[in-house]
């Protein structure tokens, strides 16, 4: 059996065993999609469901997004088929007290690079079902890849423009936005029960898809995820209008790394840079 087939067998075995043994009552992974190049989230509750699990570089959705769904919360313990970005999102959710780490298990998928999104990615699956604490040391080395210049190539390009050209660039891009909120709804860290974009008493931002409304929406979203976004790219891939959302998210990531020395997704016990008050904060306005 080729190596990849063996890994798939192992993945299915882990999922099947997790359900059979009662360690979890739900495994969320991926099944074959309806068209080539797409994978579909799969919710396994019976051991036999595990036979439909697959994994490849098209499994790009961030499955941690489902952990905050009420239908999923109703399960005592849930396992996720988790490439690194999924695990990072679980870290964020635990850190923000949205998910109880004792109720989550990972079937960790290791890829040679941070994203594991190439079509023919070589992947291996961890030896057993893991808790977040068991998983974390096995991925700590990927932290080094988070801030490589290649990751910020698109950001650098935007930064190199004059402010006038930058405005034009974003005006053109935001104009495409149809306010479908797919970016928000696939984002594991966009879990607010009532998003600020949906509030109308009082209304904070225009709901209309006008230039003003679109700027407000896309900027508010990027700001609210600053220091929290784990750089999975799910939002940008979900966007039906191909907005370059990662330009904004990565810019925020870069600023947070420079100013606070912080990269999200590695330490569930870390203080979140933008919501933590420190008495010795050097900024005057905060006191």
Summarize as ranges the residues that interact with ligand SF4 (CB under 6 A): 62, 177-183, 187-189, 218, 225, 229-235, 238-241, 243, 245, 249
- The item of ligand SF4, another protein, none sharing an interface with residue 231, based on CB under 5 to 8 Å by kind, is ligand SF4
* Site track for another protein across 137-176, x = CB under 8 A: ---------------------------------------x
State which residue, 132 or 248, has the beta carbon closest to another protein: 248
Rounded to a whole number of angstroms, the minimum distance from the CB of residue 63 to another protein is: 10
77 binds another protein (CB under 8 A): no
What is d(CA 84, CA 111) in angstroms, rounded to the nearest whole number?
8
What is d(CA 37, CA 60) in angstroms, rounded to the nearest whole number?
10
Q: Which of 4, 134, 146, 206 binds another protein (CB under 8 A)?
A: 206
47 binds another protein (CB under 8 A): no
CA angle 174, 176, 179 (to 5 degrees): 80
78 binds another protein (CB under 8 A): no
- Give per-residue burial for 47-68: e unless 16+ CB within 10 Å, then b: bebbeebbbbbbbbbbbbbbbb
- The item of another protein, ligand SF4, none sharing an interface with residue 78, based on CB under 5 to 8 Å by kind, is none
State which residue, 41 or 128, has the beta carbon closest to ligand SF4: 41
State which residue, 143 or 212, has the beta carbon closest to another protein: 212
Hey, which residues between 218 and 237 contact another protein (CB under 8 A)? Answer: 234, 237
Torsion angle in degrees (nearest 10) through CA of 252, 253, 257, 260: 50
Contacts of 39 (CB under 8 A, 6+ apart): 30, 31, 32, 33, 54, 56, 58, 59, 60, 61
Q: Which of 17, 23, 43, 219 binds another protein (CB under 8 A)?
A: 43
276 binds another protein (CB under 8 A): no
- Give per-residue burial for 181-218: e unless 16+ CB within 10 Å, then b: bbbbebbbbbbeeebebeeeeeeebbeeeeeebbbbbb
The CB density around residue 32, as the number of other CB atoms within 10 Å, is 15
Count of residues that interact with another protein, criterion CB under 8 A? 40
State which residue, 19 or 142, has the beta carbon closest to ligand SF4: 142
209 binds another protein (CB under 8 A): yes
What is d(CA 116, CA 238) in angstroms, rounded to the nearest whole number?
17
Rounded to a whole number of angstroms, the minimum distance from the CB of residue 68 to another protein is: 11
86 touches 32 (CB < 8 A): no
Rounded to a whole number of angstroms, the minimum distance from the CB of residue 81 to another protein is: 14
- The item of another protein, ligand SF4, none sharing an interface with residue 116, based on CB under 5 to 8 Å by kind, is none
For residue 247, give the nearest of 221, 273, 266 by alpha carbon.
221
């Amino acid at each position: 059996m080729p190596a990849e087939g063996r890994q798939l067998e192992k993945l299915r075995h882990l999922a099947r065993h997790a359900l059979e043994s009662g360690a979890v009552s739900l495994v969320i992974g991926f099944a074959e999609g309806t068209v080539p190049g797409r994978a579909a989230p799969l919710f396994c509750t019976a051991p036999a469901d595990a036979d439909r699990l697959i994994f490849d570089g098209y499994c790009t959705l961030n499955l941690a997004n489902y952990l905050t769904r009420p239908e999923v919360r109703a399960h005592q313990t849930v396992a996720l088929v988790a490439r690194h970005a999924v695990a990072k999102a679980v870290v964020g959710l635990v850190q923000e007290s949205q998910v109880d780490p004792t109720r989550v298990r990972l079937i960790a998928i290791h890829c040679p690079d941070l994203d594991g999104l190439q079509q023919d990615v070589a992947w291996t699956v961890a030896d057993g079902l893991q808790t977040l604490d068991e998983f974390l040391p096995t991925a700590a080395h990927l932290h080094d890849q988070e801030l490589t210049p290649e990751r910020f190539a698109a950001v650098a390009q935007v930064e190199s423009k004059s402010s006038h050209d930058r405005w034009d660039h974003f005006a053109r891009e935001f104009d495409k936005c149809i306010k479908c909120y797919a970016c928000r709804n696939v984002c594991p860290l966009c879990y607010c029960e009532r998003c600020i974009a949906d509030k109308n008493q009082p209304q904070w931002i225009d709901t209309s898809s006008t230039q003003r409304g679109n700027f407000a929406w896309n900027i508010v979203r990027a700001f609210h995820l600053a220091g929290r976004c784990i750089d999975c790219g799910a939002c940008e891939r979900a966007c039906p209008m191909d907005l370059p959302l990662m330009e904004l998210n990565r810019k925020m990531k870069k600023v947070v790394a420079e100013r606070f020395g912080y990269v999200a997704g590695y330490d569930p016990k870390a203080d979140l840079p933008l919501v933590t008050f420190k008495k010795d904060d050097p900024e005057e306005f905060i006191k």
